[in-house]
Chain A
Amino acid sequence: MTARTLVSVPKEARRGEVIAIKALISHDMETGFRYDNTGKPIPRDIITQFVCLYNGIEVFRAELHPAISANPFIAFYTVATESGKIEFKWNGDNGFSAAESVTIAIA
């Protein structure tokens, strides 16, 4: 259950600057539409939700479906408002959850 995560956030930004955020997590994203070698359907096992919090306030949320590729990658933008912590949370089938956080300094 330890998924590897990789996030890209600038370490420093000017106040009010629009910054790019990229988040990647290792996960098979099993669609539920495939069959194993014996013809049995492989049950769905995907990440269903991704949330980004900036100092505890939700700034971005995504609902993922089986059509998202394995190792989901999501890129988006946010306004650098203040120094602090940017948190990332992923949740999914079979109780999957993962989290990552980075700090950002506002000049």
Chain B
Amino acid sequence: MTAEHYDRRATRRGFLIGAAQLAGGVGLVLALPVNDGRATPDTLQAAIRKITSEAPLQKGKVKLELPAMVENGNAVSIEVAVESPMTAADHVKAIHILNEKNPLPNVLSVQLGPRAGKATVATRIRLATTQQIMAVAEMSDGSFWFDTADIFVALAACQEDPG
């Protein structure tokens, strides 16, 4: 099957790039998309711009947790925790989960406030291939913070036959 063949290539490429990136410092990748070596797709950049409205995006405060490797991309557990006192004066307004290589860049966007008590959200997501996942938090002071994580996907979602 051509689809399967293509996928294997994509996965291997993703793995090699991922390995190279680990050596090169993962943190720089999204902060300096032009200087990257790995072309972060335009759609992801557009999605980020839509969230931040060109405001600076800083690394930190956000902790993105997901497995380093999954067998199957159909349901991958993911948790985003943002450091914040969650008071009326200083809280997280929104958390966005974005991906790099699925057909669409957005995964989940949540709105919360001081009543959340704790700025943590967890869900299960689909991944089309090995890629980088990104979480962006919007703070009440208007600043934006992010974290990224790489995940190796052995078998993609979107590949199975419809039930």
- Residues of B participating in the A interface, judged by any CB pair closer than 8 Å: 74-76, 79, 99, 102-104, 106-118, 120-127, 157-158, 161-162
Contact = CB atoms under 8 A, between A and B. Distances in A.
A68 B117 contact: no
Given A54-B115, A59-B115, A76-B121, A65 B104 contact: yes
Interface of A: 18-19, 31, 33-37, 42, 54, 57, 59-70, 72-79, 81
Contacts of B118: 18, 77
Given A34-B158, A37-B161, A68-B108, 6 more contacts: A61-B110, A62-B109, A63-B108, A64-B108, A68-B125, A69-B157
A34 B114 CA distance: 40
B102 A67 contact: yes
A62 B124 contact: no
Nearest to B119: A77
Given A67-B106, A69-B126, A34 B162 contact: yes
B74 A69 contact: yes
Most chain A CB inside 10 Å of its own CB: which residue of B103, B107, B115, B121: B115
A84 B139 CA distance: 29
B117 A70 contact: no
26 contacts: A19-B117, A36-B162, A54-B115, A59-B112, A60-B111, A61-B110, A61-B112, A62-B109, A65-B104, A65-B107, A67-B104, A67-B107, A67-B126, A68-B108, A68-B124, A69-B76, A70-B74, A72-B124, A74-B122, A75-B121, A75-B122, A75-B123, A76-B110, A76-B122, A77-B118, A79-B116
A69 B106 contact: no
